[in-house]
């Protein structure tokens, strides 16, 4: 049980309310009684705690999540809680609205938002039941902090507007020891219409709050143990990674892993780490996986320098499946290999065109010619490699067509194009590299 002295708990405290003269002392059924020294030492630590739907799918799990927040709060930690809709509520609402004849996007978003709005109410009530002052934010409130564009069902937060409102309306509560509880996944347009942020929306909300409030850490409580070395449905002995940087993480996210959505990663502050933990432990200080670093840029078009690129095509019967041959090839090209592609009977090696290239080509020819399954080698020189990177590029419809159309309309030939997670590699003539780079950037920025 929690005992308050010197305050009057408010069912829905306003962000404009005066709390400066209120004091708080508490003890919980778990035996926490923070002393004055502990509160003073830790009062500046701020955590954004986000609970996914699977972590809130039953009354028992909601109770466990609320207890984990209460435990951390009793240490003197300041918290903001972001919640997803309980269980599969959003999927069920989406299924219902998809069968509703003529339901417009604005109404659908209003309906889909009910999952998070309800979840926030329940979680705030659970904290209040423990004697902790909490404020549940709802998009109908005048001081709702997350402002978005009008792309209903997949809205994007307006970063500057949202940060300003978070600092104006959420920060004062945090500083006064109140825990704001905010439904993730939902936002509101400037003219007051409710929007949803699409998949990963709750993570987006949590990371945006962290940036605005300069949090110490974002904790994502999930049904998983953390980020694993492999899909546990495919690999029985997958292990939890202790740490991973954003550059590596984005490649995993693009493979379809659902621990955190690639869209949300755009909002990560490089200075604020994320910790993915299992919610089943009931502790926000649980071990899991720490995510460090900052996101990739929204769009980066980079010309491979300082050398041109050559493509070396090796042809043979079932050549890529000849491990001894490929081992010899790898040994020759390992110092300047840029990329590789292959089919059943050939492998194309893209190499930096360094002074040693001619010697490498001669050695590769000898390896292929002497192998019983090898047939021939062909080379093309004087190309440039243009790398296009950005979070979630592979989800952009018609991405390759936009690039190829822009180059074709300016009579620039493409010698090769490869896609790797959130990267697209384009090979064109070295002499037109600057023009090609500008055309590619323009084609993507304008779409």
Q: Is the pLDDT of residue 261 over 80?
A: no
Question: pLDDT band at residue 430, thresholds of 50, 70 and 90?
Answer: very high
Question: pLDDT band at residue 266, thresholds of 50, 70 and 90?
Answer: confident
| 351 DSSP β-pair partners | 310, 337
Please state, in angstroms and as integers, the Cα–Cα distance from residue 76 to each residue in 6, 16, 284, 327, following that order: 17, 23, 13, 58
Is 109 in contact with 195 (CB distance < 8 Å)?
Answer: yes
Question: pLDDT band at residue 393, thresholds of 50, 70 and 90?
Answer: low
For tokens 């509880």, name the residue: 181
- Which one, of 389, 375, 379, lies nearest residue 444 by Cα? 389
Q: What pLDDT does 229 receive?
A: 83
Q: What pLDDT does 22 receive?
A: 34
- Which one, of 80, 292, 103, lies nearest residue 184 by Cα? 80
Q: Which CATH class for the 300-445 domain?
A: alpha beta
Q: What pLDDT does 115 receive?
A: 95
Separation CA 321–CA 334 (nearest Å):
19
Question: pLDDT band at residue 344, thresholds of 50, 70 and 90?
Answer: confident
Question: pLDDT band at residue 248, thresholds of 50, 70 and 90?
Answer: confident
**CATH entry, 36-292, from 3.40.1160.10, 3.40.50.880, 2.60.40.10, 3.50.50.60:** 3.40.1160.10
Q: Is the pLDDT of residue 110 over 70?
A: yes
Name the strand (E) or helix (H) holding 265: helix 262-265
- Which one, of 385, 381, 389, 373, lies nearest residue 422 by Cα? 389
Is 82 in contact with 186 (CB distance < 8 Å)?
Answer: no
Question: pLDDT band at residue 397, thresholds of 50, 70 and 90?
Answer: confident
Across the range 331-340, mean pLDDT stands at: 92
Question: pLDDT band at residue 394, thresholds of 50, 70 and 90?
Answer: low
Name the strand (E) or helix (H) holding 121: helix 114-129
Q: What is the mean pLDDT of the chain?
A: 85
Q: What pLDDT does 446 receive?
A: 62
Domain boundaries, the chain: 36-292, 300-445
Q: What pLDDT does 138 receive?
A: 97
Q: Which of 19-28, 108-117, 214-223, 319-328 has the lowest mean pLDDT?
A: 19-28
Question: pLDDT band at residue 44, thresholds of 50, 70 and 90?
Answer: confident
- Sign of the dihedral defined by the CA atoms of residues 228, 287, 209, 269, in that order: negative
Separation CA 313–CA 43 (nearest Å):
63
Listing DSSP states for 220-253 in one string gives EEESSSSSBSS-TTT-TT--B-SEEEHHHHHHHH
- Which one, of 322, 325, 320, 310, lies nearest residue 369 by Cα? 325
Q: Is the pLDDT of residue 39 over 70?
A: no
Separation CA 298–CA 296 (nearest Å):
6
Residue 33 DSSP symbol: -
pLDDT digits (tens, 9 = 90+) for 153-194: 999 999 999 999 999 999 999 999 999 999 999 999 999 999
The model carries a pTM of 0.75
Q: What pLDDT does 410 receive?
A: 95
Q: What pLDDT does 423 receive?
A: 82
Q: Is the pLDDT of residue 16 over 50?
A: no
Question: pLDDT band at residue 407, thresholds of 50, 70 and 90?
Answer: very high
pLDDT digits (tens, 9 = 90+) for 283-328: 999 999 999 998 767 778 999 888 899 999 999 888 878 888 889 9
What is the Cα 391 distance to its own chain's centre? 9
Q: What pLDDT does 392 receive?
A: 62
């Amino acid at each position: 049980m929690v005992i308050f002295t010197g305050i009057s708990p408010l069912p829905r405290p306003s962000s404009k309310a005066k709390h400066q003269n209120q004091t708080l002392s508490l003890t919980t059924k778990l035996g926490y009684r923070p002393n004055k020294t502990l509160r003073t030492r830790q009062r500046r630590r701020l955590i954004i705690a986000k609970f996914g739907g699977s972590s809130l799918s039953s009354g028992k799990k909601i109770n466990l999540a609320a207890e984990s927040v209460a435990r951390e709060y009793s240490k003197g930690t300041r918290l903001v809680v972001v919640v997803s809709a309980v269980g599969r509520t959003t999927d069920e609402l989406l299924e219902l609205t998809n069968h509703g004849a003529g339901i417009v996007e604005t109404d659908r978003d209003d309906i889909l938002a009910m999952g998070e709005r309800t979840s926030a109410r329940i979680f705030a009530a659970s904290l209040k039941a423990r004697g902790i002052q909490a404020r549940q934010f709802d998009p109908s409130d005048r001081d709702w902090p997350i402002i978005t564009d009008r792309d209903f069902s997949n809205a994007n937060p307006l970063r500057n507007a949202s940060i300003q409102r978070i600092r104006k309306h959420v920060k004062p509560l945090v500083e006064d020891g109140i825990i704001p509880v905010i439904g993730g996944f939902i936002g509101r347009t400037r003219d007051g219409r409710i929007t949803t942020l699409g998949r990963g929306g709750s993570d987006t909300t949590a990371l945006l709050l962290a940036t605005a409030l300069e949090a110490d850490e974002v904790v994502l409580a999930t049904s998983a143990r953390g980020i694993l070395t492999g899909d546990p449905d495919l690999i029985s002995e997958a292990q939890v990674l202790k740490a991973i940087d954003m550059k590596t993480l984005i490649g995993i996210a693009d493979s379809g892993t659902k621990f955190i959505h690639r869209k949300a990663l755009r909002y990560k502050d490089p200075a604020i780490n994320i910790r993915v933990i299992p919610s089943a432990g009931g502790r926000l200080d649980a071990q899991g996986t720490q995510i460090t670093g900052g996101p990739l840029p929204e769009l980066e078009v980079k010309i491979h320098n300082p050398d041109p690129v050559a493509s070396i095509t090796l042809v043979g019967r079932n050549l890529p499946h000849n491990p001894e041959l490929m081992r010899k090839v790898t040994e020759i090209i390992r110092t300047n290999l840029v990329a590789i592609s292959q089919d059943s009977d050939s492998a194309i090696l893209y190499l930096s065109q360094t002074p040693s290239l001619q010697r490498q080509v001669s050695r590769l020819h000898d390896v292929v010619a002497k192998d019983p399954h090898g047939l021939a080698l062909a080379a093309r020189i004087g190309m440039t490699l243009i790398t296009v990177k950005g979070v979630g590029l592979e989800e952009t419809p018609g991405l390759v067509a936009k690039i190829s159309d822009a180059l074709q309309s300016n009579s620039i030939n493409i010698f090769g194009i490869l896609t790797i997670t959130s990267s697209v590699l384009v090979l064109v003539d070295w002499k037109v590299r600057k023009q090609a780079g500008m055309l590619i950037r323009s084609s993507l920025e304008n779409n």
